[in-house]
Amino acid sequence: MAADVDRQILEDLRIDRAKLIPVLHNIATRLRIDSIRSTSEAGSGHPTTCCSAAEIVAALFFAEMRFDPQHPRDPHNDRFVLSKGHAAPILYSAWAEAGAFDRSELLKLRHIDSDLEGHPTPRLPFVDVATGSLGQGLCAGLGLALNARRIGSSYRTYVLMGDGESTEGSVWEAAELADFYALDNLCAITDVNRLGQSRPTLWQHDMEAFAMRWRAFGWQALVVDGHDLNHLLIAFENARQTRGRPSIILARTLKGRGVSFLENLDGWHGKPLKQGDELSRAIAELEAQLDRRALDVSGAQLVRKPEGVRAEAGPGRLEGRSQQEPQAMPPPAYKIGDKVATREAYGEALVKLGARDPRIVVLDADVKNSTFSEKFEKAFGDRFYQCFITEQAMLGMAMGFASRGAIPFPWTFACFLTRAADFIRMTAISRLDVKLCGSHAGLSIGEDGPSQMGLEDLALARAQPNFTVLYPCDGVSAERLVEAAIHRRGPVYIRTSRPKTRVIYAADETFEVGGSKVLSESRSDVATVVAAGITVYEALAASDDLRTRGVSIRIIDAYSVQPVDRATLRRAAAETAGRIITVEDHYAAGGLGDAVAEALAADGVTVTRLGVREIPRSGKPEELLDRFGISARHIVETVLRIVPQAATRKTSVQG
């Protein structure tokens, strides 16, 4: 029947609220039924938080948003982020209602072979960023909304949050930046259903408590009855027509709405209804709420695609990345022997790459003068995003950008990236092309002390199985590895250092992800030292010292920490009697030492790890490297210890 509704009736319906609202009401009811059914079938999940959001979702998808359900990644589709990711069933139901897939799929919710996971992930083409860690959706929304400006599109971004997650600090970081960037193409909605997981939420149904906070943060805040479709439609329209600031719709709702024995009751968070009588009663109650007088129109018929020809979309508008790879970067300008900090070379490289690849955007957390991202700002101010001191929102923004084909480089001190560790985790789950940079890593920052030393950043990044981890030691490798990061799919972490280091590579040297460089090699090498970043220079100094003692060692610059260069390591192990020493400006666990150890485990080769094994303190960089066991002296001592005959060797060996 629904198929018979003609075009004109649909057009009329869209503007005649008296007719539209009963149709939306029935859609909302179907969304509730789906959510309850699918979670009961799965035996787990969150039906009640879906029920509170049913009118919001129905109004958004079938009266407010413009998108093409058959092409969910169309660059001009409005974006929808379900920040309250545990309401996944209603998201899936909405897309089924819109015709993106068959409704029968919904009953595969949470099955191991279905992409309808417990919380949304980008395995589904209509999901931009994985959600389920609360408080992240609005941060991603920043990137999505800014991306519309970047590509010159008029698409709008909608983020549905829960009231419980509104206490997460990251939400307020996003609020600040949306205000700063005057994102009038961003509309957030809070489903204020009063009940958290274990108790009433902090502000419960005090709508004024929500509104005054958002207004203080510069947003237009509209308080509505979240079950009144007319209220919702008016509010969405108001938000859409508001210029110069973001809007939030604060929707007062009831958790479990529509089912008498769930509605507004505690104790039902995350509990599906039991199959059988409990489920049947709920479905019967909901079916009785269907308005039989409403026009028989499906969501799929109501969906509106993006308006005809809009502004031509800018670079990076395609899914994932554009087919057209950027021009190769000219060789670095450094000469062997120059002194340059990798953090500075990294900044230089991004300027060069930025000129060649318009997809690159840079995000800073008020450290641009230390990280040298200010070079990029100066060259490409319109692709530089200041995030002030909000590392979480910065990462979330990067996730949003990356999900729409930009290549974001969020950038701060390595230690402060830990502030965004949960966003890094969700970036990995989302498989996004985010290229993180942590500068000022390790003891080698010196006097500022441990709070400013990233000493666990490699562990954090390496733990994520799909993260690439790169760690250049000089200007040339820094430039080349930034370029490599762009060509590498998925998340990449690049670690840079504060001190100036000597350029050791010729400008035409090439650097592959998964490779390494053998810096010193001879047939008489008695051991291999695997270093990266700043410790490469300690290894070189140790080698010089050992050579005077007639001892030759092999040195490997393991600039690719993940994946690590197993082939080269194996060869070195085989050729240096299985004596492998790693040395890293990082805590001993989780970094280079563990990476090398695992790579060699199958060959029965073990690794002697030099790393930082206690909480460090302030001091000069060279004092700290020595005090905490990773200086040239320690490398020499370790070689002499594990190669006992080396300590007394007399004859000189060719290096």
CB nearer to a second copy: pick between 367 and 486: 367
Q: Which of residues 73-132 bind a second copy (CB under 8 A)?
A: 85, 110-112, 114, 117-119, 121, 123, 130-132
Asked if 439 is part of the footprint of a second copy (rule: CB under 8 A), the reply reads no
Question: 408: helix, coil or strand?
Answer: strand
In this structure, the dihedral spanned by the alpha carbons of residues 289, 295, 296 and 297, taken in order and rounded to 10 degrees, is: -110
Q: Which of residues 626-645 bind a second copy (CB under 8 A)?
A: 627
Asked if 500 is part of the footprint of a second copy (rule: CB under 8 A), the reply reads no
Shortest spacing between CB 142 and a second copy, in angstroms: 13
Would you say 5 and 295 are in contact if contact means Cβ atoms under 8 Å apart? yes
Q: Give Cα 508 distance to the centre of its chain.
A: 33
> 175 vs 120, 200, 206, 542, CA distance in Å?
23, 23, 20, 51
Please pick, from the candidates 144, 429, 519, 640, the single residue that binds a second copy as defined by CB under 8 A. 429
CB nearer to a second copy: pick between 215 and 489: 215
Asked if 594 is part of the footprint of a second copy (rule: CB under 8 A), the reply reads yes
With contacts defined by CB under 8 A, name the span among 22-30, 182-190, 401-409, 461-469 that binds a second copy.
461-469
CB nearer to a second copy: pick between 395 and 540: 395
- Which of 224, 157, 216, 212 has the alpha carbon at shortest distance from 188? 157
Residue where the block lists tokens 């996971």:
117
d(CA 143, CA 204): 29
d(CA 409, CA 427): 13
Please pick, from the candidates 49, 153, 201, 253, the single residue that binds a second copy as defined by CB under 8 A. 201
Asked if 605 is part of the footprint of a second copy (rule: CB under 8 A), the reply reads yes
CB nearer to a second copy: pick between 96 and 445: 445
CB nearer to a second copy: pick between 173 and 557: 173
CB nearer to a second copy: pick between 27 and 402: 402
CB nearer to a second copy: pick between 173 and 348: 173
> What positions carry a catalytic annotation?
391
With contacts defined by CB under 8 A, name the span among 3-11, 323-331, 355-363, 596-604 that binds a second copy.
596-604
Shortest spacing between CB 436 and a second copy, in angstroms: 14
Q: Are strands 247-252 and 220-225 parallel, antiparallel or unpaired?
A: parallel
468: left (phi over 0), alpha (psi -120 to 50) or beta: beta
Shortest spacing between CB 512 and a second copy, in angstroms: 21
CB nearer to a second copy: pick between 24 and 127: 127
Asked if 498 is part of the footprint of a second copy (rule: CB under 8 A), the reply reads no
Q: Give Cα 134 distance to the centre of its chain.
A: 14
- Which of 363, 322, 424 has the alpha carbon at shortest distance from 146? 363
Shortest spacing between CB 514 and a second copy, in angstroms: 16
Please pick, from the candidates 307, 601, 647, 652, the single residue that binds a second copy as defined by CB under 8 A. 601
With contacts defined by CB under 8 A, name the span among 92-100, 184-192, 277-285, 454-462 that binds a second copy.
454-462
Shortest spacing between CB 118 and a second copy, in angstroms: 4
Mark 368-397 with x for binding to a second copy (rule: CB under 8 A) and - for no binding. xxx---x-----------x-xxx-xx----
Would you say 45 and 51 are in contact if contact means Cβ atoms under 8 Å apart? no
Q: Token pair for residue 256?
A: 């479990």
Q: Which of residues 47-76 bind a second copy (CB under 8 A)?
A: none
Please pick, from the candidates 99, 105, 125, 167, the single residue that binds a second copy as defined by CB under 8 A. 167
Shortest spacing between CB 418 and a second copy, in angstroms: 4
Question: 612: helix, coil or strand?
Answer: strand
Q: Token pair for residue 467?
A: 């993260």
Shortest spacing between CB 342 and a second copy, in angstroms: 19
Contacts of residue 617, Cβ cutoff 8 Å, sequence gap at least 6: 449, 450, 624
Shortest spacing between CB 419 and a second copy, in angstroms: 4
Question: 543: helix, coil or strand?
Answer: helix
d(CA 26, CA 32): 10
Q: Which of residues 300-359 bind a second copy (CB under 8 A)?
A: none
Shortest spacing between CB 75 and a second copy, in angstroms: 26
Instruction: Quickly list DSSP for 332-392.
Output: PS--TT-EEEHHHHHHHHHHHHHHH-TTEEEEESS-HHHHSTHHHHHH-GGGEEE--S-HH
> 519 vs 249, 570, 606, 655, CA distance in Å?
60, 16, 21, 10
Mark 242-281 with x for binding to a second copy (rule: CB under 8 A) and - for no binding. ---------------------------x------------
Sheet of strand 552-557: strand arrangement: 517-520, 552-557, 525-531, 580-587, 607-612
Mark 136-155 with x for binding to a second copy (rule: CB under 8 A) and - for no binding. --------------------
Asked if 204 is part of the footprint of a second copy (rule: CB under 8 A), the reply reads no
> With helix as H, strand as E and coil as C, how does 557-611 read?
ECCEEECCCHHHHHHHHHHCCCCEEEEEEEECCCCHHHHHHHHHHCCCCCEEEEE
Shortest spacing between CB 569 and a second copy, in angstroms: 13
Asked if 215 is part of the footprint of a second copy (rule: CB under 8 A), the reply reads yes
Q: Which of residues 553-582 bind a second copy (CB under 8 A)?
A: 562
Please pick, from the candidates 204, 322, 418, 524, the single residue that binds a second copy as defined by CB under 8 A. 418
CB nearer to a second copy: pick between 233 and 461: 461
Q: What proportions of the chain, in percent to the nearest 5, are helix, strand and coil? A: 45, 15, 40
Asked if 238 is part of the footprint of a second copy (rule: CB under 8 A), the reply reads no
Count of residues engaged in binding a second copy, rule: CB under 8 A: 115
Q: Token pair for residue 331?
A: 């060789």
Asked if 602 is part of the footprint of a second copy (rule: CB under 8 A), the reply reads yes
Shortest spacing between CB 199 and a second copy, in angstroms: 7
Please pick, from the candidates 455, 504, 519, 540, the single residue that binds a second copy as defined by CB under 8 A. 455
Asked if 38 is part of the footprint of a second copy (rule: CB under 8 A), the reply reads no
Q: Compute the half-sphere exposure of residue 123: CA atoms within 13 Å on the CB side of its CA.
A: 12
Q: Where are the beta strands (DSSP E) in 39-94?
A: 79-82
Please pick, from the candidates 2, 11, 70, 169, the single residue that binds a second copy as defined by CB under 8 A. 169
Please pick, from the candidates 12, 16, 199, 512, the single residue that binds a second copy as defined by CB under 8 A. 199
Q: Token pair for residue 487?
A: 């060509």
- Which of 436, 452, 433, 435 has the alpha carbon at shortest distance from 444? 452
CB nearer to a second copy: pick between 12 and 447: 447
CB nearer to a second copy: pick between 151 and 414: 414
CB nearer to a second copy: pick between 345 and 460: 460
